[in-house]
């Protein structure tokens, strides 16, 4: 069956071919025409020695599966060597929002847990143990060691723990050594944060006052 549309244009260049693929038509229709032209036309240039091919998709964004569909059709012609496939990058906004990474266990004395991004840690951090994260740190357990959030300069990072009795807290470059009365505090989940370059402690129920969306379990 003949394909009457003109969504695929094949042009010869000095060192190969350029496939110009319409960026407005239906993708399946585009594949159908590409397949037809390779099978029923352009036989004079699609046979013989190896030919380098550049594929240009205009403003059409494609995922990996769609890209593979195009490549599979082109590879049916053994003399076509695909050199490039040009399309706009997938916008970061289209990617699903990720929550904190989840790790479980125990950080013992002398151990240091490094993490890039936000961390939800299920377990205890013993005296002498350390957690360092570039984002927020949420500990479902006791923090009796050291925690350093926002390690690459993020002053908006926080440190939260079910039982907050640390040896040392650090947010960005600000260090706080808790007073001796830590052990007599209420046994409720608390968090540390910076306000006017001063580290403060509050109950986790008051976290919304910072005006940030702390949906800890997003993506978990």
Sign of CA pseudo-dihedral 181, 199, 172, 154: positive
User: Low-confidence residues of the chain, pLDDT below 70?
Assistant: 1-5, 41-48, 89-98, 177-187, 211-220
Paired tokens of 206: 């008051």
pLDDT of residue 208: 73
CATH class of 101-210: mainly beta
- pLDDT tens digits for 134-187? 999 999 999 999 999 999 999 999 999 998 889 999 999 999 866 554 555 556
pLDDT of residue 138: 95
pLDDT of residue 113: 93
Beta carbons within 10 angstroms of residue 171's beta carbon: 24
Question: Alpha-carbon distance 105 to 73, whole Å?
Answer: 49
User: Does CATH place domain 8-92 in 3.30.750?
Assistant: yes
Paired tokens of 124: 């205890």
pLDDT of residue 5: 61
pLDDT of residue 45: 62
Question: Alpha-carbon distance 160 to 94, whole Å?
Answer: 30
The pTM assigned to this predicted structure is 0.50
E strand spans, 101-189: 101-107, 112-115, 119-125, 130-133, 137-143, 146-149, 159-164, 168-171, 174-176
pLDDT of residue 148: 96
Nearest to 16 by CA among 108, 105, 104, 83: 83
Measured distance between the N- and C-terminal CA atoms of the chain, rounded to whole angstroms = 50
Helix (H) or strand (E) holding 33: helix 27-40
CA-based angle 93:97:100, to the nearest 5? 145
- The ranges assigned to domains in the chain are 8-92, 101-210
């Amino acid at each position: 069956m003949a394909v009457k549309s003109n969504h695929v244009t094949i042009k010869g260049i000095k060192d190969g071919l350029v496939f110009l693929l319409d960026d407005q038509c239906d993708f399946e229709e585009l594949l159908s025409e590409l397949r037809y032209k390779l099978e029923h036309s352009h036989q004079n240039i699609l046979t013989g020695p190896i030919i380098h091919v550049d594929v240009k998709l205009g403003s059409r964004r494609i995922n990996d599966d769609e890209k593979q569909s195009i490549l599979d059709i082109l590879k049916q012609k053994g003399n076509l060597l695909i050199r490039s496939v040009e399309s706009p990058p997938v916008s970061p906004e289209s990617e699903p929002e990720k929550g904190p990474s989840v790790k479980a266990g125990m950080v013992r004395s002398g151990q240091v847990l490094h993490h890039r991004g936000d961390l939800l840690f299920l377990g205890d951090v013993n005296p002498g143990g350390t957690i360092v994260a570039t984002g927020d740190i949420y500990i479902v357990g006791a923090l009796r060691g050291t925690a350093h959030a926002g390690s690459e300069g993020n002053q908006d990072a926080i440190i939260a723990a079910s039982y907050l009795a640390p040896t040392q807290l650090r947010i960005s470059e600000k260090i706080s050594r808790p007073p001796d009365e830590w052990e007599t505090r209420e046994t409720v989940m608390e968090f540390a944060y910076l306000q006017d370059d001063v580290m403060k402690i509050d109950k986790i129920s008051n976290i919304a006052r910072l005006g940030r969306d702390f949906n800890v379990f997003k993506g978990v």
